[in-house]
Structures are given as structure tokens and as C-alpha cells.
Structure 1
Amino acid sequence: MSDDIAQDTTVILRIHRFTPKPETKRTRRRPSSPFGNKSRNSNPFASSHPQRGIKGNRFTQDYTIQPRSGQTVLDCLLSIKRDYDPTLAFRYSCGHGVCGSDAVSINGTPTLLCTAKVEDYAKSQVQPSNAGNVDEGFRHTGNITGTAISDNSSASQVGNTEQAGDVNRIESHLPTIIEVAPLPGFPVLRDLIVDIDRMMEQIARLQPHLEADGKLAKTSDGKIDMFEYLQHPEELKRYELLSNCISCGICEGSCPVYAGGEAFVGPAALVATSRFVNDSRDRLTGERLEAIATDDGIIACQSVRACSRKCPRGIDVGEEMWQLTEQVKSHQV
């Protein structure tokens, strides 16, 4: 679509909803990923609180709106919740792409609700036929708008052609659809809200904090040296972008291997590790590389690079996974 939405444009928000049933005493554990180890004890990143499948009612619900130009999908959801359906559940906080709490899947692409503009994701419900353009890959069985009619054509043929033109004109005015679903790879709690506890726990297990040697440098006169951790611009550049990760889970929702951390610790935790591996002030580089050099760590990465798509902070996650793989190999030599 164009950058601007016409004032009379109708958009259908097709929301994948989920209403959980009341919990019972007997619960069944969520099926594990086919890539994962069968034994939970063999996975160092396994959560101490195993995820259980939540039963409930899954359905889709359409909301017809007329968005303004520049409006985001989050703006539309807020309008729906305030004015039409207060039961619609979704998560958000800052609304400016900083907190990362509103990650969902829009038209099959993991992204943030607050940064997804309606005009970028609206798609036609029916693709109209372009006049004069014939797809040579198929044999057409009917008249096509724009096709020349010979002099000996019957009136019925002309009528069919005019009717086809009317249908195409009608199709061009059909409302566009934006399909919003929960973030893939995470258990759904309600509607668009997913459980990210396992991801946050895995990030915490890899110690995402600076581990310096703890010694305070002193000047020649015995005073504390305030420039102890002064870095060169090249050293700062190695980890500066990685420190902007907001743990939104978009990279994990894009990863075909990650499935709630059952088999793969996930790119979010590995990006947090890479941030400190590339920090010249950190003294645990070797220990960090050894921690992820497991079957459920960086070894499980298949180098698909799907995690690089649509990072809201501009991190090339796939490249970081590749760099970590090379650093682990070099450390093991």
C-alpha cells in the first residue's frame, strides 16, 4: 500500500484470541520441541518451573476500523479495547519501541505493536486483476478485463467482460486485513499475551552483568583512578549496539529452532552473553563461552538467520550467533 491511508479506507483487524479454561489439579506438561533432549537434566538452561500446556478456547475475531494515516496497530487495539471490547487482552507499556513488552506476530512477522504502522501491514483481502496483465503460467477460462474483443464476438461475451470489470472494481474496494497473533515459540496465556518467564530466566542464568576483577586502580599518590575502566572507541563499539537489546523476544519468535527453550537457549540469551563476551572490561569471557558451548546452547543454532529479521533495535542477531559460534570454536582449540 502507499505510505498514506485514505480517510475512507476500511481495515479489518483479525485477532487470534485465546480464552484459558480454569486450571485443574491435573495438568499436562507442554510438549517439548523435537530438537530438544528427552532428559530435562541434560539441558542446563531448562527452567526450574516447567511450562504446562494451557487449555482453552482458541478463535479469531474481526474488528472493522477506519485508521488514520500514521496510526500504529497498538493505537487501533487501544481504541478497540476502550470503545468496543474491553475483554481484548494484549501487553504494552511505553508504546514507543523501548520496553519491548508488546511483541506479537503481524501477518506472520514477529514485530512490536507500537512500531507497526497500519499502512505497512494492511493487505488486500482479494487481489484485483490488473488490466492487460495475463499470467502466462495458467490457462485462463474466462474473459479478462482489458482483453480486446474481436468484431465477431457475441453480445454475451461482451456482457461477461463488462461484468468481470464490475467484479474487479468491487474487489478493489474490499477492506484490507491485518492479522495479529501471539508471538510464536511462547505459550499463550490469554489472547495476545504470552509467557516470557522462561526466556527471562534463561537470560539471567547466563549472568548478564559485568564481572570485573574487583580491583580499584590507584594513581601514584594513592588516590582511586577514576579512569580505571576507560575504553578505546573500538572497544566500546564492539558491544555498544548489543547493550540496546530490550529482550522483546522477536528474535526468538522468528527462530525455527527455539520453542520455549526446550531445545535451544534462544538468541535473546545469547545476545546478552555476546554483549559481555565483547566487553574488554569483563573477566569471565572464557567461562561465558564454555557456558553456551552445549547441545542446547550455541551448538543448537542452525544458522538460519531468521532471527535477524525486524529487530527493533537494529541488531543483526544472526551475525551475532555466527560470531559466537566462531568464538566458541576458537576458545575450544
Structure 2
Amino acid sequence: MTSPESAVETAGDTPLMISVVVICYRQEKFIADALDSILAQTAYDRIDRVIVVDDKSPDGSFDIIQDYAAKHPKIQAVRHEVNSRGASVPRNTGIALATAPYIAFLDGDDIWMPTKIEEQVAVLEEHPEIGLLFSDFITFDDKTGAERPSTTVRYSLGEPNQLRKFFVQGGPVIPSCAVVSRAVIDEVGPFETNLRFNEDSEMWNRVASAAPLHHLPRPLFRKREWFGSKGSGVNDAGQIASKHEITRRMIERVPELAEVADKRSSGIELQAAVRNFRRGATAEARAHLKKALEHDPKNRKARLYLAVSHLPGSTDRWLNILRGLQHGVLRRAQ
């Protein structure tokens, strides 16, 4: 079998290349899966280097990374001397070492689908004006293996008011599904290091202010949920505060976004309500829904969720039914 490093590009003299930035902290159980998913890419020849940044993990993560770097010439192992207590600093370390005109990101506990880079390269070659290219994904439980499809808001080239739409609706754009133009990063700056939450969302909003976004409507990576992953806990106060701070910063950057700030704030409260419903905190969820309607009385989803919260039975059951109807598939409630 031909090794990934021996693949040779024959389609042209200057093939579009991508640098990959992998960040890792305390992920010795998962980092090999992440790196194997890069090595298994059908377009591995379009990856010029893989920068794996360990944020001073206290476990054996870096030993595994070094082992991969010793066996695969494209992989570069980097270790921080001090833990940065966040994702932005290690991502920025990787960005500084990247050499290709596009940068893809992968968290050390996630897994790429084999055709991810191939499919994204094909789009970028046809549309080099894209600043941020991303996709849907599949979320899976590390213990049970249970999977659920996770779709994002659709964005396509040429649609009007794309920045306003992204400012209000977001994605989500998980870094592990994103490919970003290096030129755009150089223009808007790297990831913010002074936000505890939603630093990626803040970055994508800045990118959206400078270049078009495009979404591929199919899953190109698998997002792992495990106890200890960033998304495994809930901190509503911190999440909401950081999102409102992003609102303030983006309005400062693009003043006309103030026209839709209330819609964005309403959506922030709605998201907090859904998180609380999922953990059974119905009273807190209703409080967030009321705030959502204060910001935007026309938020029909918030009004519907508030009504559903008063129906008999589990609110989460009713929300599952509503989500199923929205996606055209009625999920069977337990």
C-alpha cells in the first residue's frame, strides 16, 4: 500500500494546498483517532503539513503525538511549556507555523471523514474567494456510540446580507469542519485569547465581515462527546456574557449590525433555553424564553417553545418532536 507521504499531485503545477492545525489537551485516548483520520484522507497529498499543538497535557498525549511525528514526515509535534487554559492560544500557535494558503482545524478528540479535504479542496479550487468553508457533522457519544446528525445554518455564495445572517443565526461552525483562507486570517487577525467561551464564533464573525462563507450540506467530520470535552458542561452565564461581548465587538467593527442586534440577542436567549430544557431545568428555560421575546417579540420559535413547556409530559420529549418536524423527520420520543 502506498503511504500518504508518497502521494504525488499530477493535476497541475500549483495545486491548492492546506495546512492542518490540530490542538490537543488531555486527549491521550483520542488523539491517535484524530491523527489517523488525517492520514486516511483521500486527498492527503493536498495537505502540506500537520501541526499538532499539545497544550501541556498532563497525560501521555504528547508522547503519542511525538510517535506519529517520528513516523510521518508531514506531522510536526509542538508542545506548550505552560497550559493556556483555552483553545485560542494553541490554534494561534498552529496558524503561525502554517505555510499553505488555507488552514484546516481539527480538535484532538474529533475525527474527519475520509473525503473531507478532497471535497473542500474541490470547492475552494472553483471558488477561491471563499473565506470560510464548513459542513454539517455527526455528533457521537464516546461511551454508547450513539450518533445524531448535526446540521448547520446554510450559507451559499452570492446570497444577500450574508454577514447579517451569520451575525444573527450563527452556524454552528465547529472548528473541526472549517477550512479558512490564510489571507483572510492575516486580514482580520487570529483567534481572540481573552474570551473564555465562543472564541471560534467570534473569529468566524470577523471572517464573515471580510470574505464570503460557504456551507457543504453533508457531514464531513464526527464530533466526539465525552466527559471532559469542552461541550460537556453548561455555563449559561459565561456563554451568554461572551456572546453579548461578541455582539458589542462586531457592532463596533460593522456599525450597521446594530439594526439586527435584538434578533441576535433573542437567539442567544433561545439557545440558553434549549440547553436548560435538555437538562430538565424548565423554570430557567422559561425565563430565557421570556427574555428572548423581550428582545424580539416576533421570535416564533421562542413563543412556540414557551407554549410547549406548559404541555404535560417531558418538555425535552416535545422539543424532540418539534426538532423532528423541523427536519422533516419525526423522531420517536422515548
Q: TM-score range by the shorter chain?
A: under 0.3
Higher Rg: 1
Relative contact order higher in (CA < 8 Å, ≥ 6 apart): 1
Give the TM-score normalised by the residue count of structure 1: 0.27
Return the structure number with greater helix share: 2
Report the TM-score, using the length of structure 2 for normalisation.
Answer: 0.27
